[in-house]
Amino acid sequence: MSDHDKPTRTSPNTPDGAEEPVTTRRGIRSFVLRQGRMTDGQKKAFDRGWSRFGLGREQGVIDPREVFGRDAVLNLEIGFGMGQSLAEMAEAAPEQDFIGVEVHLPGVGSLLKDIEAKGLENVRIYSIDANDVIDLCLPDASLDRVMVFFPDPWPKKKHHKRRLIQPEFIQRIRHKLRVGGVLHLATDWENYAEHMMEVMNEAEGFANAEAPGAFSPRPEHRPMTKFEKRGERLGHGVWDLLFHRTN
Protein backbone atom coordinates (compact mmCIF):
# COMPACT_ATOMS: atom_id res chain seq x y z
CA MET A 1 0.00 0.00 0.00
CA SER A 2 1.41 3.39 -0.98
CA ASP A 3 1.54 6.36 1.39
CA HIS A 4 -1.20 7.94 -0.70
CA ASP A 5 -3.52 4.99 0.00
CA LYS A 6 -2.85 4.50 3.70
CA PRO A 7 -5.82 5.28 5.94
CA THR A 8 -5.69 7.89 8.64
CA ARG A 9 -4.83 6.23 11.96
CA THR A 10 -5.58 7.26 15.48
CA SER A 11 -3.27 6.94 18.47
CA PRO A 12 -3.77 6.88 22.23
CA ASN A 13 -2.76 10.57 22.31
CA THR A 14 -5.17 11.63 19.56
CA PRO A 15 -8.40 13.09 21.01
CA ASP A 16 -11.72 11.95 19.64
CA GLY A 17 -12.53 13.80 16.44
CA ALA A 18 -8.93 14.60 15.48
CA GLU A 19 -7.11 13.03 12.58
CA GLU A 20 -3.53 11.95 13.04
CA PRO A 21 -1.48 13.26 10.08
CA VAL A 22 0.51 10.05 9.62
CA THR A 23 1.23 10.51 5.93
CA THR A 24 1.79 13.18 3.33
CA ARG A 25 0.32 12.87 -0.14
CA ARG A 26 3.39 14.36 -1.80
CA GLY A 27 6.16 12.03 -0.61
CA ILE A 28 8.63 14.24 1.28
CA ARG A 29 7.37 15.40 4.65
CA SER A 30 8.39 18.90 5.69
CA PHE A 31 7.72 18.30 9.38
CA VAL A 32 8.63 15.83 12.11
CA LEU A 33 5.59 14.64 14.04
CA ARG A 34 6.64 15.42 17.62
CA GLN A 35 3.20 14.82 18.98
CA GLY A 36 3.84 14.92 22.71
CA ARG A 37 0.99 15.04 25.19
CA MET A 38 -1.51 17.79 25.63
CA THR A 39 -1.81 19.33 29.05
CA ASP A 40 -5.07 18.80 30.91
CA GLY A 41 -6.09 22.36 30.01
CA GLN A 42 -5.32 21.84 26.32
CA LYS A 43 -7.18 18.52 26.27
CA LYS A 44 -10.25 20.04 27.94
CA ALA A 45 -10.21 22.98 25.52
CA PHE A 46 -9.94 20.51 22.63
CA ASP A 47 -12.86 18.46 23.91
CA ARG A 48 -14.99 21.58 24.30
CA GLY A 49 -14.00 23.37 21.11
CA TRP A 50 -12.99 20.95 18.35
CA SER A 51 -16.50 20.11 17.18
CA ARG A 52 -17.16 23.82 16.65
CA PHE A 53 -13.82 25.13 15.40
CA GLY A 54 -12.19 22.04 13.85
CA LEU A 55 -12.23 21.15 10.16
CA GLY A 56 -11.22 17.89 8.46
CA ARG A 57 -10.55 16.15 5.16
CA GLU A 58 -13.94 14.46 5.25
CA GLN A 59 -15.63 17.82 4.66
CA GLY A 60 -13.98 18.10 1.27
CA VAL A 61 -13.67 21.49 -0.41
CA ILE A 62 -15.21 24.03 1.94
CA ASP A 63 -17.21 27.15 1.19
CA PRO A 64 -15.65 29.71 3.55
CA ARG A 65 -18.88 31.74 3.55
CA GLU A 66 -20.74 28.74 4.93
CA VAL A 67 -17.99 27.86 7.42
CA PHE A 68 -17.83 31.37 8.90
CA GLY A 69 -21.36 32.50 8.12
CA ARG A 70 -20.21 35.59 6.23
CA ASP A 71 -18.16 36.87 3.31
CA ALA A 72 -14.93 38.33 4.73
CA VAL A 73 -11.20 38.64 4.12
CA LEU A 74 -9.81 35.12 4.50
CA ASN A 75 -6.37 34.35 5.93
CA LEU A 76 -4.55 31.01 6.10
CA GLU A 77 -1.65 30.36 8.48
CA ILE A 78 0.33 27.19 7.83
CA GLY A 79 2.10 25.84 10.92
CA PHE A 80 0.78 28.07 13.70
CA GLY A 81 2.81 26.40 16.47
CA MET A 82 1.17 27.04 19.84
CA GLY A 83 -1.26 29.48 18.23
CA GLN A 84 -0.56 32.68 20.19
CA SER A 85 0.20 34.74 17.08
CA LEU A 86 -2.82 33.45 15.21
CA ALA A 87 -5.12 34.19 18.16
CA GLU A 88 -3.62 37.66 18.48
CA MET A 89 -4.12 38.40 14.77
CA ALA A 90 -7.71 37.13 14.89
CA GLU A 91 -8.48 39.22 17.97
CA ALA A 92 -7.00 42.33 16.35
CA ALA A 93 -9.01 41.87 13.14
CA PRO A 94 -12.48 40.58 14.07
CA GLU A 95 -13.75 41.65 10.65
CA GLN A 96 -11.46 39.07 9.01
CA ASP A 97 -11.52 35.26 9.10
CA PHE A 98 -8.59 32.96 9.83
CA ILE A 99 -7.87 29.30 9.10
CA GLY A 100 -4.92 27.76 10.92
CA VAL A 101 -3.09 24.52 10.07
CA GLU A 102 -1.01 22.67 12.65
CA VAL A 103 -0.21 18.97 12.96
CA HIS A 104 0.96 19.06 16.59
CA LEU A 105 -2.02 18.52 18.86
CA PRO A 106 -0.65 20.40 21.91
CA GLY A 107 -0.56 23.50 19.67
CA VAL A 108 -4.12 22.86 18.54
CA GLY A 109 -5.23 22.53 22.16
CA SER A 110 -3.36 25.71 23.07
CA LEU A 111 -5.05 27.68 20.28
CA LEU A 112 -8.46 26.36 21.30
CA LYS A 113 -7.76 27.60 24.84
CA ASP A 114 -6.97 31.05 23.43
CA ILE A 115 -10.08 31.01 21.22
CA GLU A 116 -12.17 30.26 24.29
CA ALA A 117 -10.43 32.80 26.52
CA LYS A 118 -10.64 35.60 23.95
CA GLY A 119 -14.14 34.72 22.75
CA LEU A 120 -13.01 34.43 19.14
CA GLU A 121 -15.52 33.49 16.46
CA ASN A 122 -13.35 34.04 13.39
CA VAL A 123 -10.90 31.10 13.61
CA ARG A 124 -11.10 27.55 12.26
CA ILE A 125 -8.44 24.83 12.52
CA TYR A 126 -7.13 21.93 10.46
CA SER A 127 -4.88 19.43 12.22
CA ILE A 128 -3.69 17.63 9.09
CA ASP A 129 -0.85 17.96 6.59
CA ALA A 130 -0.94 21.38 4.93
CA ASN A 131 -0.59 19.65 1.55
CA ASP A 132 -3.97 18.01 2.11
CA VAL A 133 -5.54 21.29 3.18
CA ILE A 134 -4.33 22.95 -0.03
CA ASP A 135 -5.15 20.09 -2.36
CA LEU A 136 -8.37 18.75 -0.86
CA CYS A 137 -10.02 21.42 1.26
CA LEU A 138 -9.69 24.96 -0.11
CA PRO A 139 -11.34 26.46 -3.21
CA ASP A 140 -9.15 28.14 -5.80
CA ALA A 141 -8.78 31.93 -5.47
CA SER A 142 -10.40 31.89 -2.03
CA LEU A 143 -7.59 33.30 0.12
CA ASP A 144 -6.59 36.91 0.64
CA ARG A 145 -3.43 36.09 2.57
CA VAL A 146 -1.30 33.00 3.23
CA MET A 147 1.19 33.13 6.09
CA VAL A 148 4.07 30.76 6.78
CA PHE A 149 5.96 32.01 9.81
CA PHE A 150 9.18 30.36 11.01
CA PRO A 151 8.81 26.97 9.31
CA ASP A 152 11.33 24.26 10.18
CA PRO A 153 14.57 25.48 8.54
CA TRP A 154 16.07 22.01 8.08
CA PRO A 155 19.52 23.61 8.40
CA LYS A 156 21.62 20.65 7.23
CA LYS A 157 22.23 20.82 3.50
CA LYS A 158 21.24 17.18 3.01
CA HIS A 159 17.82 18.03 4.48
CA HIS A 160 17.12 21.14 2.39
CA LYS A 161 14.79 19.08 0.17
CA ARG A 162 12.48 18.83 3.20
CA ARG A 163 12.00 22.58 3.43
CA LEU A 164 8.37 23.53 2.95
CA ILE A 165 9.09 26.52 0.70
CA GLN A 166 9.77 24.94 -2.68
CA PRO A 167 8.72 26.03 -6.20
CA GLU A 168 6.01 23.39 -6.58
CA PHE A 169 4.47 24.19 -3.18
CA ILE A 170 4.46 27.92 -3.94
CA GLN A 171 2.57 27.37 -7.19
CA ARG A 172 -0.08 25.33 -5.40
CA ILE A 173 -0.43 28.17 -2.88
CA ARG A 174 -0.71 30.64 -5.75
CA HIS A 175 -3.83 28.93 -7.09
CA LYS A 176 -5.53 29.26 -3.70
CA LEU A 177 -4.78 33.00 -3.46
CA ARG A 178 -6.98 35.50 -5.22
CA VAL A 179 -5.21 37.76 -7.70
CA GLY A 180 -3.76 40.55 -5.56
CA GLY A 181 -3.60 38.28 -2.51
CA VAL A 182 -0.45 38.15 -0.39
CA LEU A 183 1.95 35.36 0.48
CA HIS A 184 3.83 36.30 3.66
CA LEU A 185 6.87 34.26 4.68
CA ALA A 186 9.11 34.81 7.70
CA THR A 187 12.19 33.05 9.04
CA ASP A 188 15.00 33.65 11.49
CA TRP A 189 17.48 31.52 9.53
CA GLU A 190 19.42 33.64 7.05
CA ASN A 191 20.19 30.70 4.76
CA TYR A 192 16.51 29.79 4.60
CA ALA A 193 15.62 33.44 3.98
CA GLU A 194 17.97 33.43 0.99
CA HIS A 195 16.43 30.17 -0.21
CA MET A 196 12.92 31.62 0.15
CA MET A 197 13.90 34.72 -1.79
CA GLU A 198 15.45 32.64 -4.56
CA VAL A 199 12.28 30.54 -4.85
CA MET A 200 9.99 33.58 -4.84
CA ASN A 201 12.08 35.59 -7.28
CA GLU A 202 11.65 32.78 -9.80
CA ALA A 203 8.00 32.02 -8.96
CA GLU A 204 5.57 32.56 -11.81
CA GLY A 205 2.66 34.84 -10.98
CA PHE A 206 4.19 36.62 -7.97
CA ALA A 207 5.67 40.08 -7.48
CA ASN A 208 7.66 41.36 -4.51
CA ALA A 209 5.77 43.90 -2.41
CA GLU A 210 9.11 45.69 -2.00
CA ALA A 211 11.78 46.17 -4.66
CA PRO A 212 12.84 43.03 -6.54
CA GLY A 213 15.02 40.87 -4.29
CA ALA A 214 14.27 43.00 -1.21
CA PHE A 215 13.03 41.75 2.14
CA SER A 216 10.11 43.54 3.77
CA PRO A 217 9.90 45.22 7.16
CA ARG A 218 7.78 43.26 9.62
CA PRO A 219 4.16 44.33 9.03
CA GLU A 220 2.24 45.45 12.11
CA HIS A 221 -0.24 42.63 11.66
CA ARG A 222 2.44 39.96 12.28
CA PRO A 223 2.84 39.71 16.06
CA MET A 224 6.36 39.47 17.39
CA THR A 225 6.77 36.22 19.34
CA LYS A 226 8.61 35.90 22.64
CA PHE A 227 11.20 33.81 20.84
CA GLU A 228 11.64 36.54 18.24
CA LYS A 229 11.97 39.26 20.89
CA ARG A 230 14.63 37.25 22.66
CA GLY A 231 16.48 36.70 19.38
CA GLU A 232 16.31 40.41 18.61
CA ARG A 233 17.96 41.20 21.95
CA LEU A 234 20.70 38.73 21.07
CA GLY A 235 21.20 40.32 17.66
CA HIS A 236 19.55 37.55 15.65
CA GLY A 237 17.94 38.56 12.39
CA VAL A 238 14.40 37.93 11.15
CA TRP A 239 13.50 38.15 7.48
CA ASP A 240 10.00 38.80 6.13
CA LEU A 241 9.03 38.27 2.50
CA LEU A 242 5.76 39.64 1.10
CA PHE A 243 4.72 38.74 -2.42
CA HIS A 244 1.48 39.53 -4.28
CA ARG A 245 -0.20 37.15 -6.69
CA THR A 246 -0.21 38.92 -10.06
CA ASN A 247 -2.03 36.40 -12.25
72 exposure class (CB count in 10 Å sphere: 0-12, 13-18, 19+): middle
- On whether the CB atoms of residues 136 and 66 are closer than 8 A, the answer is no
Non-local (6+) Cβ contacts of 117 within 8 A are none
Burial of 164 (0-12, 13-18, 19+ CB in 10 A): buried
Q: Which one of the listed residues 129, 132, 152, 240 is annotated catalytic?
A: 152
Q: Would residue 152 show up in a list of annotated catalytic residues for this protein?
A: yes
Residue 180 Rama label (left phi>0; alpha psi -120 to 50; beta): left
Question: How far, in Å, are 20, 44, 83 from residue 47 at the CA level?
Answer: 16, 5, 17
Rounded to whole angstroms, the Cα distance separating 140 from 63 reads: 11
- State the DSSP H helix or E strand holding residue 55, giving kind and residue range, or none if neither: strand 54-55
For the annotated catalytic residues, the residue numbers are 152
